[in-house]
Structure 1
Amino acid sequence: MTGVMGEDGLVPRERSSLPVLCAAGLGLLMLLIAWLLDADKFSERVGMIVFCITVEVFIHGVCLFAEEWLFHSRQRYHGRTNDIFKACFRTHVVLGMFAVFLMLKLGGVSFSREQWSTVVLMCAVYLILKSLRVLSPAPVEISEICEMKKMNVAHGLAWSFYIGYLKFVLPDLQNKVSQYSSTRGKLSSPRLHILLPLNAKVPTKPEEEDTNVAFHENLPELVRDQAGVRKRSYKNSVYKITQDNETFSCVLEYATPLLTLYQMSHESRAGFGERERKQQVLLFYRTLSQILEDSLECRNHYRLVLLNDEHTGDPHYLSREIIQHLKQQDGEIHMDPIQELTNEVHAVPEEGPIGRFNGAQRAIFLEDSMSSDPTLMFSQPNSLRSEPVETTDYFNQPNTRK
């Protein structure tokens, strides 16, 4: 397994409208060819075909209505015939049949015996092919419908993971990290690192996958009443990751819903194979990332680490990828604003090591500091690493000097 830093090449994108545009373009081209081949009877034939298709779809809807009304009216629709009708007939089909009725009864349009025979034959062929599922949607169409309607297993698991856990754990994480750092030491990153292996195999302990990852201790617990359970406890664990005599520490855990996907793939009743499992994991990753990115409470408090299931034989793949993500965060967040602050920061002994300039809180770099690199501190318990946008934008403004 190798971690994936460039997830764009692996995570599937949302499907576009290209098939619809291609079908519409080819349809117009074929209409043009048909008109060039026989312009005299073009309008008559088009009307005949539209009439046949409308009748075919309506008859198939009647078959669906018979099933729902006879066997599922009470259980699924609570006896409401109107709901059954809406479930079996599309609006444009009903309007089309209404137009056909007006055309035949009030418009004075009549078909010859041969034309009626063609209508009956086309309807018969359509219904037979439909019953044999020859005209059923392609697998890619079913997948598109499920993704568009948010009907996949991954969608439900991602929303459950967010609403039932991350929604209240991530906003409180900053306080827990601050409490931990004040007594135990600073973490390499204040974010919660969520591991998502593509094979959905979630070990009980990360140490089972990589000996360079070792459990250190738990953060302070979050206790809350949830789903009838009084004072339910939620814990997050801090792990030490070592590499080349260098040690990092961060809050780490696997995405527990992936364990459900893994177990489903081993249940024959679930109809869930290995290929479907991988697609659902990728869809879970995409859905969860979209949910968290849209959540103002959770933004900048998490890091999704997608792990590929191609094992390269490296026993320390997990530690390598976690450290790579940690270093990437340092590169993204730490903008090295030392040169800009040299002439701007002044000591204010009355207020201690923290001074206020233009309504913002700045660190005072003491000349007798043990480190040659300046240290940026905040009086608030918010971490600089979790707020990269605000600090960076502030230091990059040229008009902040007073």
Structure 2
Amino acid sequence: MSGVMGEDSLVPRARSRLPVVCTGGLGLLTLLFAWLLDSDKFIERTGMIAFCITVERFIHSMCLFAEEGLFHSKQRYRGRINEIFQTCFRGHVILGMCAIFLMLKLQWSFSEEQWSTMALMCAVYLLLKCLGVLGPCPVEISEICEMKKMNVAHGLAWSFYIGYLKFVLPGTFLSPLHCETILELLLVRRLILLPLNAKVPFKPEEEDTNVVFQENLPELERDTAGVRKRSYKNSVYKIIQNNEAFSCVLEYATPLLTLYQMSHESSAGFGERERKQQVLLFYRTLSQILENSLECRNRYRLVLLNDEHTGDPHYLSREIIQHLKQQDGEIHMDHIQEPPNEVQPVPEEGPIGNINGALRANFPEDPVSSNPTLMFSQPQSLRSEPVETTDHFNQPNARRWD
């Protein structure tokens, strides 16, 4: 459950296929224009240009193959020539070379002037490629990295989820000391803070005095990576505003510390602008991962903190309370008028029935009231096997199957 105020203006969306569509459309229009200018030699010139481009790509791939085969065969490919070949040669280049070979076999001939023009085109292409003029622009590199999940933020988000959140989120509940009702005990209010500047304080109260530490929750332990009973501990904080107090499990996303420290290491090649982009990409990736996780869904809230709040000593507490109220509003269910002849729910048995019974004991239903009593079930994993807990409607005309 990720709630961000003004998320659309901060978090970048995935890039669309608009450049591909525009390029294809302009290419077709250019071909039509060239055909209108000289329709007699259109096919001949088109074939010659396609021939040159294919040969240029093949020569460049041969250069890549020489580098990988001579110096990286054992270290990167374990001596497998077929893997080197697949890495250096794209499928369309091989098909193009096969088409050229077939054309030469069928005695497709060019004049000396055409051969000279094609040789000149190949030479210009190879020189421009060598100088980096024809290389991908930063936008293309960014798109490739996002599409292939090759960014620093992708790795950090997956590491944060698999190594920590996947284990901690399903097992964290508020302590009974912080809950006044059973409903509050069942609803986990856990906030994960992500500052845009990636600057994570050691203690939240250093950023805002309205955030007060209460106590640590019981530790969760598991054996991992050779460490026996590695412990995971979470803290409960009280946020105070206008004589109101709100309690929640609060923590910063620790991988942002890595991004912050990388931006201060010259060898990392990671500036402030790149750091902010990676933080936003980290937020987007982590949101997608957690939303698709059955164990973690609805057990968290990501809070993206804007770093343009200098001079406001209580910015953090206001943001936290705003998100807590928004979360309560999403969970809150308004009372509705009970329709006539409404079928009363059948009492449930087992642990769920015990909780419902406790709720009815603490909040007895007024027999005259028309407002229905809400029944809450104990949180369970969404991957558990479905259990039938209700009978068929007890209506006089309902058809029963034997």
Range of TM-score over shorter length: 0.7 to 0.9
Partner of 2:179: 185
Q: Do the aligned partners of 1:238 and 1:252 also contact (CA within 8 Å) in 2?
A: yes
Partner of 1:60: 60
Q: Distance in 1 between matches of 2:289 and 2:323?
A: 21
- How many residues end up aligned between the 2 structures? 371
Q: Does 1:240 align with 2:238?
A: yes
Question: What secondary structure sits across from 2:143 in the alignment?
Answer: helix
Deviation at 1:376, TM superposition (A): 4.8
Question: What secondary structure sits across from 1:247 in the alignment?
Answer: strand
Deviation at 1:91, TM superposition (A): 0.8
Q: Do the aligned partners of 2:211 and 2:317 also contact (CA within 8 Å) in 1?
A: yes
Partner of 1:293: 291
Partner of 2:400: none
Partner of 2:137: 138
Q: Distance in 1 between matches of 2:343 and 2:93?
A: 72
Q: Does 1:267 align with 2:261?
A: no
Deviation at 1:185, TM superposition (A): 3.0
Partner of 1:164: 163
CA gap 1:73/1:343 in 2 versus in 1, 3 angstroms: same
Deviation at 1:339, TM superposition (A): 4.1
- Equivalent in 355, 379, 384 of residue 382 of structure 1: 379
Q: Do the aligned partners of 1:265 and 1:274 also contact (CA within 8 Å) in 2?
A: yes
Deviation at 1:337, TM superposition (A): 2.5
Output the aligned Cα RMSD: 3.0
Q: Do the aligned partners of 1:4 and 1:308 also contact (CA within 8 Å) in 2?
A: no
Partner of 1:44: 44
Partner of 2:386: none
1:320-399 alignment to 2 at 5 Å?
320-337=318-335, 339-340=337-338, 363=360, 365-366=363-364, 376=374, 378=376, 381-382=378-379
Identical aligned pairs, as a percentage? 76
Deviation at 1:191, TM superposition (A): 3.0
Q: Distance in 1 between matches of 2:240 and 2:294?
A: 33
Deviation at 1:64, TM superposition (A): 0.7
Q: Distance in 2 between matches of 1:234 and 1:339?
A: 45
Deviation at 1:8, TM superposition (A): 2.0
Read off the aligned partner of 1:275 and give its amino acid letter. Answer: R
More displaced 10-residue stretch of structure 1: 262-271 or 106-115: 106-115
Structure 1 residue ranges without an equivalent (≥5): 388-398
Partner of 2:88: 88
Structure 2 residue ranges without an equivalent (≥5): 383-392, 397-402
Read off the aligned partner of 1:185 and give its amino acid letter. Answer: C
Partner of 1:392: none
Deviation at 1:318, TM superposition (A): 0.4
Partner of 1:391: none
Q: Do the aligned partners of 1:191 and 1:300 also contact (CA within 8 Å) in 2?
A: no
Deviation at 1:193, TM superposition (A): 0.6
Question: What secondary structure sits across from 1:309 in the alignment?
Answer: coil
Partner of 1:302: 300
* TM superposition score normalised by structure 2: 0.85
Deviations 1:39-78 (A, max 9, x none): 0000000000000000000000011111111111111111
Q: Distance in 1 between matches of 2:224 and 2:204?
A: 28
Q: Distance in 2 between matches of 1:283 and 1:400?
A: 52
Q: Do the aligned partners of 2:65 and 2:88 also contact (CA within 8 Å) in 1?
A: yes
1:9-158 alignment to 2 at 5 Å?
9-104=9-104, 106-158=105-157
Question: What secondary structure sits across from 1:366 in the alignment?
Answer: coil
Question: What secondary structure sits across from 2:47 in the alignment?
Answer: helix
CA gap 1:361/1:12 in 2 versus in 1, 3 angstroms: farther
Q: Distance in 2 between matches of 1:342 and 1:184?
A: 39
